Amino acid sequence: MTKTGIDRRALMQLTGMGLAALTTVSMAPGRAAAQTDAAWDKTFQQSENIDHEKVTFTNRYGITLSGDLYLPRDRSGPLPALAIAGPFGAVKEQSAGLYAQTMAERGYATIAFDPSFVGESGGMPRQVASPDINTEDFSAAVDYLGLRAEVDRERIGIIGICGFAGMALNAVAVDKRVKAVATTSMYDMTRVMARGYDDAMTPEQRSLALTDMSRQRWTDAETGIPTLAGGLPETLDGVDDPVIRMYFDYYKTPRGFHERSVNSTTGWTVTNPLSFMNMPILTYIDQISPRPMLLIAGENAHSLYFSEDAFAAAAEPKELMVIPGADHVDLYDQTDIIPFDRLAEFFASHLA
């Protein structure tokens, strides 16, 4: 498979790979007890400079979401806050949690959350995503942050990573409470599912993919169990595609594997792309203005064009920061590459 010669099944696997839990997670609304060191279940080490708490909150559709709240241990007064999610198919214990903990060390109240239908968040069926509901999840996180005594609700921003970067921009376009937004390694999931990488999907390929998924609905309705598309391979034997190898290196190795991660395990449903294929989420990106936007992408990322095109479509104030030598996944967890200093400066300036 190449980026310009997209196989339809490979596209569904690569843009929607992974697992959500096969059963509903039962959680009571409200705040949970603080998590102890012994229960630390993240792919990154716990900082001694933050307080961590497992929390839950409910979105506008009544789905209970699970989050990790991070607060600077040495804090005073209401804090600026950040809601963080992504990548697409990841869970809060991976990249989003690393970003949240790091920004909490820099003085922010942060929440990394599992989107609806995945990880420890609720929603049925499992292994499915929604451009609408997952956009709403960001605003629900803003709801939650704004009710915390530690947070100044007039100083809330958002960070979106990979596929949830596009959803973050979509959320900020309509949620005027958010004062600033930053993204890293952005994907527009509606665009890539509708058109393929580099917009290379032909009308005939799109029609055939939609025909297959439409007919798949009968199979799923008959069995009552949505069929999975499958995710990343279990080994790289015979796999030459550099993008798949890059994702494998994060999700399928000790570097980033997590048992609840969609991309670390079995995969989304076959019909998952349907709602993404006719709902372009960045239609109103220019309406984020006059609130500032920072788009961060790797120079060598296969996804760089998403950030470049979003930057071109957005109104001022905006900034595109391209990290020399970095690929897409480097910005998930490589703390010597992720520009946390710039993120801190950006939000300090605009959440003042």
Helix axes 95-105, 340-350, angle to 10 degrees: 60
**Longest pairwise C-alpha distance within the chain:** 59
Give the angle subtended at the CA of 342 by the CAs of 340 and 346, to the nearest 5°. 115
Full-model pTM:
0.90
182 within 8 A of 293, measured Cβ to Cβ = yes
| DSSP conformation letters of 75-130 | --S-EEEEEEE-STT--TTSHHHHHHHHHHHTT-EEEEEPPTTSTT---SSSS---
* Count of residues making up the chain: 352
> Identity (one letter) of the amino acid at 227?
T
- How many helices (H) and strands (E) the chain has is answered by 10, 8
Tokens of 287: 């309406």
How far is the C-alpha of 338 from the C-alpha of 323, rounded, in Å?
8
Q: How far apart are CA 111 and CA 173, in angstroms?
A: 20
Which residues are within 8 A (CB) of 217 and not within 5 positions of it... i.e. 6 or more apart? 271
Place of tokens 């279940």: 41
DSSP 289-301: TTS-EEEEEETT-
Q: How far is CA 105 from CA 74, 84, 108, 181, in A?
A: 9, 15, 7, 19
Rounded CA-CA distance 247/228 in Å is 19
Q: In 10 A of CB 217, how many CB atoms?
A: 13
Can you say how many angstroms the Cα of residue 18 is from the centroid of all Cα atoms in its chain?
13
Q: In whole angstroms, give the CA distance from residue 120 to residue 24.
A: 8
pLDDT by residue, tens only, the chain of 352 residues:
333 334 444 444 444 433 222 222 222 233 333 334 558 999 999 999 999 999 999 999 999 999 999 999 999 989 999 999 999 999 999 999 999 999 999 999 999 999 999 999 999 999 899 999 999 999 999 999 999 999 999 999 999 999 999 999 999 999 999 999 999 999 999 999 999 999 999 999 999 999 999 999 999 999 999 998 888 999 999 999 999 999 999 999 999 999 999 999 878 999 999 999 999 999 999 999 999 999 999 999 999 999 999 999 999 999 999 999 999 999 999 999 999 999 999 999 999 8
